């Protein structure tokens, strides 16, 4: 029944991209082929939990209120770098309604982020680092109690800029120094010097991007409740199983004794991939006081301490022949990962998006006394693609080539790092259809040649991401005697529509109306283990498991139907809620009648995501085309239209896919034009840790968006042939906008975000010259 | 892998004992043999959720509080029989805080109890029948609103006594009359007249028992919450799946769209086997007002409308040869099932406990304008066994035989109704060991021969029940990489220790410490379908499924271990958390290492309860011996000791088994001595619908209890060889006490409860004569 094999798969875990070995069962469930005629999958289906959300009946983690529940607030360090000399909680403890206060002095030392720090670390490395947690009858009392804790801080010298931090003698964030060695490994292939020597044309430029923050609608938060020695945690998380395993490890209890539930969720974008300190604190205090405890984050805490995307300084150089073929590519970059280890590297697109034999990369992940970086929607690829695709456009101009044509010239069917062929790649079709939709032929042949102060331009950029999915991912399907079904998996729907596509797949395979299918996800006490929801893994990982369970259920029904109809199984099929003879439909038995005959109440099957094929690279590809208007008098950029043409394998649900594209693009508009966390170099404090000072785009800033899916099922990957689309949607947007701005005004803005001030500054320069990061104004 | 076959199984569903066909997979998992050396199973293990309950951290349905939750109260009919002429909710609706009021006028007509009535039926058939439901911001407002509803009742003639109700011209409770025809079918075998003609000795007597009420610690209650078109109901229920299916049917939504959760529960005893009206009302109103709704019952509602055990009038006649062999048995009985259809029959022990070829039974289930009867711990068997075992003792006395010897003389190895042999029956051993433990030889040879006003006596009674379990029952086992496990099933732990034995079985088979096993039950969104928790079905139905899943997991681990150790699977076993070579333990691989090698996070297996064997009767047996003290001056009976010797197949957990025995016996003491619902014949109203007037025994009334398990695994039944023990513990207690009272005072009390008044009345009679039901005093 199952064929065991060991295979290598890439997957995106916690805060890093990892290669892992996985032994999985490879079953013989049929794959959807590119020409498959599907009835439900690929159509437009509103989220099955959409009504709940818009009507307010959906209960989020914040809405979980348990009897006797207490409320916690975290006291955070006000300084960028300090050490606790002493901490006095006596006054706070005496306040009416205060139940407990935990600090490094009265709790076990629990290591955090590997062994680089602790749950409560007296060495505080950034503004917002956790000092203590006060728990009280109400949040307001807890807040007052936290403020009443008297801490004697020894203030330490600090550093916020990575360039400064890399210098000899800079204040050390960690004893080992400010470079995260494991995340600062050079890469090279071929002979880059020789390549540049052979190049006819060379372009180079420096680019910079800023720290941005995830800012999901729903902040982080947990409710912890103990039943004896068993812990239940409601958590706003992208990975119920990861949170379970971290809690079990940190609290030294069996994984089976931790139940993590996430029902509804208002976004994560990577900041909710791993277990938060507040979840562990809630569990610890709940055990101490014998009551459930809720700890939720406010917007300031979200901005200071719940993670962010690193900044980058990228120095790129590319050489090509007169024919446009790339000869050599060199990249230097550094970025601040903040106070704790993470990787700021952004060179992956540089290494692999285009055919080039000679590539070298030197990049550094650098600590600073700022908030910790973590994964954010396509880590590294977003800043990296902005810089790479800007310079590729510069090269096209220097060669006198159409930017799209230059990209097609350097197109490759093989992963440039591993040398493995792609299972599928429809990037050229994405170029063609995207160009057509945006009206590429109508762009300014000479950049900046439009008349008037408000100039229009077109630009584009490409994208590569993984998104092929990975085991382990299991699911359970229960079919009821009334023909309704429930599908369970240990995945979670973080707002992307996971539940909906799960129901759609069951509906497709079993011919059940969608209205009769329910989904249980986000509960470690229910569905089997699934990988985290990040890295665009979810749909390609979960969908094959669901399809397998549904196919096995179909086989079960056909088998039972065959016994009832006294026909060979091969002559029968499941269609319209009945097992029917294939040839003429003359003999038929309805599903409820099968249950009646079996005298069963539910039939159960399980499915598992098989391994990815060996010897192949699995990636998503895409191109986005942007039309912008630049007001050369005010420096204001307006993105008028974005065309997103992507190869994402089989499209499961047009509606949620388009939602993902819209979300990725609008987040890309924010990254390109306005979002940045501003740290005051003098005080080391964040100046805009709120939604007023931190400028996110609103619906008023939304361009018209056209989504084109250029792919269909890739049966080499899995039985569904799905690739992820969450991150791909976000990767090329800033690059496409930057190239469109250049096309509009003939001046390149190399620093994100392209605020009006930076645009005006660039326009003031007569020639196209590299610039360092601009001023911190917006 | 699975061998399908169709088999007949008996199981106890909703409100009736049913025979059903079930097709189930019969797998080759090894059965525990009687001589099996088990390490965990059979030991004394405290409930895994015991701490939660005693510490108050356990959250019951009453503790579920959702954001925006509203509260409902049911308005109930104050009359025993009435029809609603008109109902005016206008004043109630206008009250501040009132959200909605539903009645038969503004809701769909939903049939209830087959097609005999409706959710809101304008024809009200007993005090407490549902009239309307008021929903408001608080329970207090809802209560006031319910009272403010103006109902114009047309009062109808009523009847409360079944003997009256059976008479021509009695007020009709239903249009079809007062006899529940389907539950009033006569039974006979052999030639009873001929049997009595051949008998040397004949005894006969009339017995009566009263209506008693379940009164679980936790009242009934539900919280209903809609997410769009999906309904979640927290319910205090013995059958999450039955409640799910009833809600789906009544609300006309797919079963998959109903999730029923019961986490902790404070008892049911049969009153919570089916979906309550309040659950449907909560769901209807929650949908109407778009908010969650909680409706819970108070003690009065529990007593009036949540079910009760029928009363009985039993006229028994038994004839035997001089050798003690039974020649003929005849029984007439009737009992009131209250306002709605149910079965009051109590003849099953009479038909089958003893070897007798000539038996006839005539019994009637009779409607009255009283609260509805429903299943209560061993329906029918408790009153039936009291009467039968009293008369068997009379026969023994008349024959001059030891009551135990007479029973052994009439022992049978075959079910007397079906003729099928029992898979196992250790009743004679129960007699022997029970007699030894109570000191049977020391009983009064002449009843009532003790000196002084306080007389001591010994008595005993036997018991038969089904308790063999039945499919469908499924479970899922998830083993984590840290060696901890979680087992999921659609059963529910109603306070009996189901979760604990599930964990114990996994611990036994996989050699995992109990502290590393968690259990998910009572949630239709999680575990697969399981039969209801009633009829002593749970342990014998659920345990085989859990054992199968654990055995399959063990096989999986051994198989993986074999690959790692490069040894044949047959040479290996799983022991102490490692796969080890059987012969000398020289080669070994730990479970976490197996996961590491497999690169898996969880392994999943499923188990299902196979069918019962064909051609066999599966029953539990037991004998209880009671020592009592009767104060002949006050009429007060004190039960000093009860020895319970039972054949219940394999004992899973000595502690919870003893708990069940203790609970059953104390409930039996209440039934024998003090519990009765008192209805005023003049007003038709219940006089003691509260815990003050309804006398339940307390810890002060507890006898010393000795539990003897005379059985071990019965491998013919299932792979665990478990039989149920919940009902068997309760069946013979009243009979044993009645016989002990007779042994003490030499006067037979034939009417339960044996209140002091009845005892004094019986003592006042000089001879042992049949009596009708005594006065309603206690």
Per-residue DSSP letters for B479-528?
Answer: EETTS-EEEEEB---SSSSHHHHHHHHHHHHH---GGGEEEE-SBTTTSP
With cut-offs at 50, 70 and 90, classify the pLDDT of residue A3: very low
pLDDT at B4 over 90: no
- Residue B196 clears pLDDT 50, i.e. is over it: yes
Residues of A with CB below 8 A from B517's CB? 254, 256
Q: Where are the beta strands (DSSP E) in B120-220?
A: 123-124, 130-136, 150-155, 187-189, 201-209
Q: Report the pLDDT averaged over residues B171-197.
A: 96
Q: What is the pLDDT of residue A726?
A: 95
Per CB-CB distance under 8 Å, the chain A contacts of B48 are 228
Query: Are B51 and A229 a contacting pair at CB < 8 A?
Result: yes
The residue that leads in pLDDT, A752 or B12, is: A752
In chain B, what residues touch A257 (CB-CB under 8 Å)? 484, 516, 518
Residues in B closer than 8 angstroms to A515, CB to CB, are 229, 254
Calculate how close chain B gets to A565, using CA atoms only, in Å: 16
The answer to whether the Cβ–Cβ distance between B529 and A23 falls below 8 Å is no
Which 3 state secondary structure label does DSSP give B599? coil
Provide, as residue numbers in chain B, all residues whose Cβ is less than 8 Å from the Cβ of A265.
none
Q: Do B59 and A66 touch (CB under 8 A)?
A: yes
- Give the pLDDT confidence score for residue A336 in this predicted structure: 97
Q: Which of A3, A470, A518 to mutate to test the interface with B (most CBs of B within 10 A)?
A: A518
Q: Report the alpha-carbon distance of residue A192 to residue B393 in Å, rounded.
A: 105
| pLDDT confidence tier of residue B775, bands split at 50, 70 and 90 | very low
Give the C-alpha separation, A109 to B509, whole Å.
36
Strands A230-235 and A221-227: antiparallel
Chain A nearest-CA distance from B601, in A, is 7
Q: Determine if residue A157 is left, alpha or beta; phi over 0 gives left, psi from -120 to 50 gives alpha, anything else beta.
A: beta
| Structural tokens at position A28 | 């013989």
Answer whether A254 sits within 8 Å of B1, measured CB to CB.
no
Which residues of chain A lie closer than 8 angstroms to B602, CB-CB?
A: 472, 474, 490, 528-529
Q: Which of A22, A517, A523 sits opposite B256 (nearest CB)?
A: A517
Task: State chain B's mean pLDDT as an integer.
Answer: 93
Decide: helix, strand or coil at residue B406.
helix
Instruction: Report pLDDT for B602.
Output: 86
- Nearest Cα neighbor of B411 from B398, B392, B397 is B392
Longest dimension (CA), chain B: 85
**Which strand ranges, in their side-by-side order, compose the sheet holding B187-189?**
B187-189, B359-367, B326-338, B312-320, B201-209
Pairing of strands B70-76, B293-296: parallel
- Chain A hits for B57, Cβ within 8 Å: 225-228, 290
How many residues are present in chain A? 778
Which residues of chain A lie closer than 8 angstroms to B482, CB-CB? 248, 254-255
Which of B6, B57, B548, B555 best tests the A interface by mutation, with the highest count of A CBs <10 A?
A: B57
Residues of chain B in contact with residue A484, where contact means CB-CB under 8 angstroms, are: 248, 254-257
Among chain A residues, CA nearest to B259: A518
Output the pLDDT for position A83.
98
A606–B602: do the CB atoms touch at under 8 Å?
no
For the segment A185-191, the average pLDDT, to the nearest whole number, is: 97
Going by C-alpha positions, the residue among A627, A661, A670 that lies closest to residue A729 is: A661
- Nearest Cα of chain B lies from the Cα of A8 at a distance, in angstroms, of 11
Which residues from chain B sit within 8 angstroms of residue A598, using beta carbons? Answer: 23
Burial B667-691, CB ≥16 within 10 A → b, else e: bbbbbbbbbbbbbeeeebbbebbee
- What is the interface size between A and B, counted as CB pairs within 8 Å? 185
pLDDT in tens, A6-37: 333 333 333 343 333 333 333 457 899 998 89
When CB atoms are compared, the residue of A65, A257, A602 closest to B528 is: A602
- Of the candidates B27, B35, B29, the residue with the CA atom closest to the CA atom of residue B713: B35
Question: Distance (Å) from the C-alpha of residue A21 to the closest C-alpha of chain B?
Answer: 6
CA nearest to A604, candidates B244, B22, B473: B473
| Cβ neighbours, 10 Å, residue A691 | 14
User: Which chain B residues have a beta carbon less than 8 Å from that of A48?
Assistant: 228
Sheet strands (E) in A143-285: 150-155, 187-189, 201-209, 221-227, 230-235, 258-261
Our CA-based measurement puts residue A66 at a distance from the nearest CA of chain B, in whole angstroms, of 7
CB pair distance less than 8 Å for B597 and A23 = yes
Mutate to test the interface with A, among B229, B256, B526, B529 (most CBs of A within 10 A): B256
pLDDT of residue A766: 55
CA A74 to chain centre: 26
* Cβ neighbours around A761 below 10 Å, total: 18
Q: Which of B550, B433, B448, B488 is nearest to B40 (CA)?
A: B550
For A150, other C-beta atoms within 10 Å of its C-beta total 12
Q: For A445-473, give the secondary structure using H, E and C.
A: CCCCCCCCCEEEEEEEEEEEECCCCCCCE
Query: Residue range B238-252: average pLDDT?
Result: 97
- The answer to whether residue B5 scores a pLDDT higher than 60 is no
**List of E strands, B210-261:** 221-227, 230-235, 258-261
Across the interface, whether the CB atoms of A227 and B58 are under 8 A apart is answered yes
Instruction: Pick the residue from chain A with its C-alpha nearest to B608.
Output: A604
| Rounded CA separation B534/B608 (Å) | 19
User: How far is the C-alpha of A489 from the C-alpha of A529, rounded, in Å?
Assistant: 7
Residue A197 CA to residue B659 CA, distance in Å, equals 88
Q: Is the pLDDT of residue A181 over 50?
A: yes
How far is A708 from A711, CA to CA, in rounded Å? 9
> Which comes out higher in pLDDT, residue A776 or B304?
B304
Which residue, among A255, A529, A603, A605, would best test binding to B if mutated, counting the most B CBs under 10 Å from its CB? A255
Please work out, in degrees rounded to the nearest 5, the angle formed at the alpha carbon of residue B250 by the alpha carbons of B248 and B253.
Answer: 35
pLDDT tens digits for B143-158? Answer: 999 999 999 999 999 9
Residues of A in contact with B67 (CB under 8 A): 59, 63, 65
- The per-residue pLDDT for range B222-231, each reduced to its tens digit, is 999 999 899 9
Q: Which residues of B touch A517 (CB under 8 A)?
A: 254, 256
Chain B residue closest to A524 (CA)?
B486
Give me the residue label for tokens 């199981």. B11
Shortest distance, CA A49 to any CA of chain B (angstroms) = 7
Kindly indicate the confidence band of residue B12, based on its pLDDT and cuts at 50, 70 and 90. Answer: very low
What is the pLDDT averaged over residues B251-268? 95
**φ/ψ (deg, to 5) at A72:** -115, 150
Which chain B residues touch A480 with a CB distance below 8 Å? 254-256
- The mean pLDDT value for A509-516 works out to 93
pLDDT of residue A238 exceeding 80, the answer is yes
The verdict on a CB contact (< 8 Å) between A520 and B528 is no
- Is B518 within 8 Å of A230 when comparing Cβ atoms? yes
- Give residue for tokens 């604190």: A281
Residue A636 structure tokens: 């204001």
Q: In terms of Cα–Cα distance, which of A44, A775, A778, A773 is closest to A383?
A: A773
At B462, phi and psi to the nearest 5? -105, 175
Interface test with A, best of B48, B289, B477, B518 (most A CBs within 10 A): B518
pLDDT band at residue B610 under the 50/70/90 scheme:
confident
Count CB neighbours of B479 within 10 A: 31
Q: How confident is the model at residue B90 (pLDDT cuts 50, 70, 90)?
A: very high
- Report CB contact under 8 Å: A21, B526: no
The two three-digit tokens of residue B664, written as one number? 């059953």
The residues pairing with A475 across neighbouring beta strands, listed in sequence order, are A489, A607
Distance from CA of A573 to the nearest CA of B (A): 21
Residues in A closer than 8 angstroms to B562, CB to CB, are: none
The verdict on ipTM greater than 0.90 is no
Nearest-angstrom CA–CA distance, A511 and A132: 55
Pairwise CB contact (< 8 Å): A22 & B484: no
Interval A248-294: pLDDT, tens: 999 999 999 999 999 999 999 999 999 999 999 999 999 999 999 99
Q: Element (H or E) spanning B92, and its range?
A: helix B90-94
Token pair 């602790």 is found at: A118
Interface test with B, best of A254, A481, A610 (most B CBs within 10 A): A254
Average pLDDT over residues B422-433: 97
Residues of A in contact with B1 (CB under 8 A): 1
C-beta separation of A129 from A76 below 8 A: yes
Say if the Cβ atoms of B228 and A67 lie within 8 Å: no
| pLDDT, average across residues B513-534 | 95
Using left for φ > 0, alpha for ψ between -120 and 50, and beta otherwise, residue B269 falls in: left
- Which helix (H) or strand (E) covers residue A332, if one does? strand A326-338
Inter-chain CB proximity A226 and B57 less than 8 Å: yes
Which residues make beta-bridge pairs with A151? A87
Whether residue A585 has pLDDT greater than 90: no
Q: How confident is the model at residue B601 (pLDDT cuts 50, 70, 90)?
A: confident
Q: pLDDT at residue A114 above 90?
A: no
**Banded model confidence at residue B766, pLDDT cuts 50, 70, 90:** low
Q: Which residue from B22, B256, B528 is facing A484, i.e. has the nearest CB?
A: B256
Q: Find the closest chain B residue to A55 by CA distance.
A: B228
Structure tokens at A330: 């060199």
pLDDT by residue (tens digit) across A668-712? 999 999 999 999 999 999 999 999 999 999 999 999 999 999 999
CA distance B209 to chain A (A): 38
Whole-number pLDDT of residue A773:
41
Longest Cα–Cα distance in chain A? 85
3-state secondary structure A516-553: HEEEECCECCCCCEECCCCCCCHHHHHHHHHHHHHHHH
CA-nearest residue to B287 within chain A is: A57
């Amino acid at each position: 029944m199952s064929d065991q094999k060991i295979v290598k798969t890439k997957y995106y875990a916690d805060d890093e991209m990892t290669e892992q070995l996985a032994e999985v069962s490879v079953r013989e469930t049929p794959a959807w082929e590119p020409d498959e005629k599907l009835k439900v999958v690929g159509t437009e289906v509103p989220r099955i939990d959409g009504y709940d959300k818009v009507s307010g009946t959906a209960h989020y983690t914040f809405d979980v209120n348990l009897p006797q529940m207490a409320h916690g607030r975290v006291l955070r360090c006000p300084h960028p770098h300090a050490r606790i000399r002493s901490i006095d909680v006596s006054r706070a403890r005496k306040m009416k309604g205060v139940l407990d206060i935990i600090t490094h002095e009265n709790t076990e030392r629990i290591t955090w982020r590997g062994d680089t720090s602790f749950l409560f670390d007296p060495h505080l490395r950034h503004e917002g680092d956790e000092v203590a947690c006060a728990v009280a009858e109400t949040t307001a009392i807890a807040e007052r109690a936290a403020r009443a804790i008297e801490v004697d801080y020894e203030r330490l010298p600090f550093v916020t800029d990575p360039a400064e931090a890399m210098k000899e003698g800079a204040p050390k964030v960690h004893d080992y120094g400010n470079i995260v060695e494991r995340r600062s490994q050079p890469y090279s292939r071929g002979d880059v010097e020789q390549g540049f020597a052979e190049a006819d044309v060379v372009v180079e430029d420096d680019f910079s991007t800023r720290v941005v923050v995830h800012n999901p609608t729903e902040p982080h938060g947990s409710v912890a409740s103990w039943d004896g020695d068993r812990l239940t945690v409601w958590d706003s998380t992208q990975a119920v199983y990861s949170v379970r395993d971290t809690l079990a490890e940190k609290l030294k209890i069996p994984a089976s004794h931790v139940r993590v539930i996430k029902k509804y969720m208002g976004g994560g974008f990577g900041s909710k991939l791993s277990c938060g300190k507040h979840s562990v604190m809630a569990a610890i205090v709940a055990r101490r006081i014998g009551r459930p405890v809720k700890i939720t984050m406010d917007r300031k805490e979200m901005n200071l301490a719940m993670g962010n995307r690193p900044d980058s300084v990228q120095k790129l150089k590319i050489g090509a022949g007169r024919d446009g073929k790339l000869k050599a590519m060199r990249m230097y970059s550094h970025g601040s990962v903040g106070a704790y280890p993470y990787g700021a590297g952004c060179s992956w697109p540089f290494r692999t998006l285009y055919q080039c034999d000679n590539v070298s990369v030197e990049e550094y992940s650098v600590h600073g006394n700022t908030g910790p970086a973590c994964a954010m929607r396509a880590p590294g690829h977003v800043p990296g693609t902005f810089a790479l695709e800007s310079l590729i456009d510069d090269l096209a101009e220097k060669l006198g080539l159409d930017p799209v044509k230059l990209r097609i010239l350097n197109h490759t069917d093989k992963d440039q790092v591993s040398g493995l062929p792609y299972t599928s790649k429809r990037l050229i079709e994405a170029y063609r259809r995207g160009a057509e939709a945006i009206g590429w032929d109508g762009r300014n042949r000479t950049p900046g040649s439009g008349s008037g102060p408000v100039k229009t331009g077109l630009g584009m950029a490409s994208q590569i991401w993984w998104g092929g999915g990975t085991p382990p991912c299991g699911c359970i399907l229960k079919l009821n005697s009334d023909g309704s079904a429930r599908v369970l998996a240990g995945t979670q729907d973080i707002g992307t529509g996971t539940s909906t596509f799960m129901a759609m797949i069951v509906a497709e395979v079993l011919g059940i109306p969608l209205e009769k299918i329910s989904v249980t996800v986000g509960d470690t006490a229910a569905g089997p283990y699934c990988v985290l929801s990040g890295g665009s893994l979810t749909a390609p990982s979960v969908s094959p498991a669901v399809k397998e369970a549904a196919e096995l259920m179909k086989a079960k029904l056909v088998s039972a139907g065959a016994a009832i109809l006294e026909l060979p199984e091969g002559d029968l099929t499941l269609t319209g809620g009945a097992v029917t003879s294939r040839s003429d439909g003359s003999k038929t038995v309805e599903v409820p009648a099968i249950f009646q005959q079996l005298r069963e109440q539910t039939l159960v099957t399980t499915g598992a995501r098989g391994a990815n094929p060996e010897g192949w690279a699995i990636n998503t590809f895409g191109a986005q085309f942007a039309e912008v208007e630049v007001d050369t008098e005010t420096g204001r950029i307006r993105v008028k239209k974005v065309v997103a043409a992507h190869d994402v394998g089989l499209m499961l649900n047009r509606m949620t896919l388009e939602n993902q594209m819209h979300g990725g693009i609008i987040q890309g508009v924010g990254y390109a034009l306005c979002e940045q966390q501003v740290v005051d170099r003098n005080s080391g404090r964040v100046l805009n840790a709120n939604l007023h000072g931190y400028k996110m785009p609103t619906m008023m800033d939304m361009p018209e968006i056209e989504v084109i899916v250029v792919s269909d099922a890739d049966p080499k990957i899995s039985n569904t042939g799905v690739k992820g689309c969450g991150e791909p949607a976000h990767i090329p947007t800033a690059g496409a906008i930057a190239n469109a701005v250049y096309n509009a005004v003939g001046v390149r803005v190399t620093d994100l975000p392209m605020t009006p001030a930076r645009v005006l500054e660039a326009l003031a320069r007569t020639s196209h010259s590299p610039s360092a990061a601009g001023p911190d104004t917006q």
